Structure 1
């Protein structure tokens, strides 16, 4: 399968409201890989750019990878309700700017979110009708352990902790609209693509349908 070929614009020329496409999975189940493949192969979806208090890593660009802000600025934004969702992980905070996403959705922009079940709950509570939730499962716990071990970057203690967290995350599978087992990366990608394309065609998101149908129903002159 060619992953870099743009997928067709399934919505044609009708005006459409954008959507928030969430991918969640335990570490090692493939959400980051699938998200990257979608972003590279589909010109109609973009990554949601979060605010963060951590320092930029080499090669990261402010405004493209993250909006880098101070702890004080982040706290002020959180207090003012400027985030759709936010969380603090290992002493650093991350949040999704509300104004940026809401404006984009109105213009028909689709946003990709690579977040956990807690962030998913927050987004769903704020913008339920715009959210599409997809959870990726590993084919087995043994395969998940093999993938984590195969990275060769973590100690056995770290892997044990990741496995415990994975079981906890998997327990939230029923809080998602779709669940896909990632036993083959190409097949998983194809299934996730189909979900995205189908959700774009939901009648409720086709904001241009009413005018289009009215035009079709006009009597001949």
Structure 2
């Protein structure tokens, strides 16, 4: 079992990390996200709201919050989302209230969102947002992975490939860009980034008081 450090070892009341994972469909983001959640007790998943139909095996409130288009539009009007976007004819958004509740509990928050959502989140939350983009080793390999899934028709796979090329063009709006040619190595890199970002001085406001007391001792 990998060693997981205390995210706030000295009680500095660290500000939470809003940790974004983005990638083209099939590049391994979901696998890495699941492994990260299992390995990091202090990390919680932001559950998006969506207007798409629920799929077999999915659970409302676990995989997504499945809501009507009218309800989604009302939430947009009420500014109840941190970010939202159209993806493959459906709407997806991050409810603001759940993220604020997780941060209040002292959790870091993991986001599985695309480049549009990452950009919106960064505009709202700035330095608390850490953006990681995961690339496939090649577009040929990405196509092979999508074909191997056996879950999508060829026209859907083609749309995903076209979207993947558009998404990859936004790599330079991310803080970190990784190539997933080995899932174990890529996971370890993502986990290392999370651990390092938790320790940033700018996220530890309690450090100031510690330094002041240190000078008196």
- Distance 1:56-1:151 versus aligned 2 partners, 3 A rule: closer
Match of 1:41 among 33, 39, 42: 39
User: Does structure 1 conserve the Cα–Cα contact (< 8 Å) formed by 2:49 and 2:66?
Assistant: yes
Q: Distance in 2 between matches of 1:114 and 1:198?
A: 20
Superposition pairs of residues 192-211 of structure 1, within 5 angstroms: 192-211=190-209
- Distance 1:135-1:19 versus aligned 2 partners, 3 A rule: same
User: Does structure 2 conserve the Cα–Cα contact (< 8 Å) formed by 1:18 and 1:107?
Assistant: no
Match of 1:144 among 133, 142, 145: 142
Q: Distance in 1 between matches of 2:144 and 2:41?
A: 33
Matched positions, count: 216
How far off its partner does 1:210 sit? 1.5
How far off its partner does 1:190 sit? 0.3
Q: Distance in 1 between matches of 2:168 and 2:68?
A: 33
Counterpart of 1:8? 5
- Distance 1:133-1:60 versus aligned 2 partners, 3 A rule: same
How far off its partner does 1:92 sit? 3.7
Deviations 1:113-146 (A, max 9, x none): 1111111111111111111000001111221122
User: Does structure 2 conserve the Cα–Cα contact (< 8 Å) formed by 1:18 and 1:104?
Assistant: no
Deviations 1:6-49 (A, max 9, x none): 62224313211101110111111111111111011110111002
Counterpart of 2:156? 158
Q: Distance in 2 between matches of 1:95 and 1:82?
A: 9
Ranges in structure 1 where 5+ consecutive residues have no aligned partner: none
Which stretch has the larger CA shift, 150-159 or 44-53? 150-159
Matched, 1:170 2:174: no
Q: TM-score, normalised by structure 2?
A: 0.89
Ranges in structure 2 where 5+ consecutive residues have no aligned partner: none
Which stretch has the larger CA shift, 96-105 or 74-83? 96-105
Superposition pairs of residues 39-188 of structure 1, within 5 angstroms: 39-57=37-55, 60-188=58-186
Q: Distance in 2 between matches of 1:13 and 1:52?
A: 39
Q: Distance in 2 between matches of 1:8 and 1:217?
A: 27
User: Does structure 1 conserve the Cα–Cα contact (< 8 Å) formed by 2:21 and 2:134?
Assistant: yes
How far off its partner does 1:106 sit? 4.8
What value does the CA root-mean-square deviation take over the aligned residues?
Answer: 2.1
Q: What is the DSSP-based 3-state SS (H/G/I as helix, E as strand, rest coil) of the residue aligned with 2:14?
A: coil
How far off its partner does 1:153 sit? 2.7
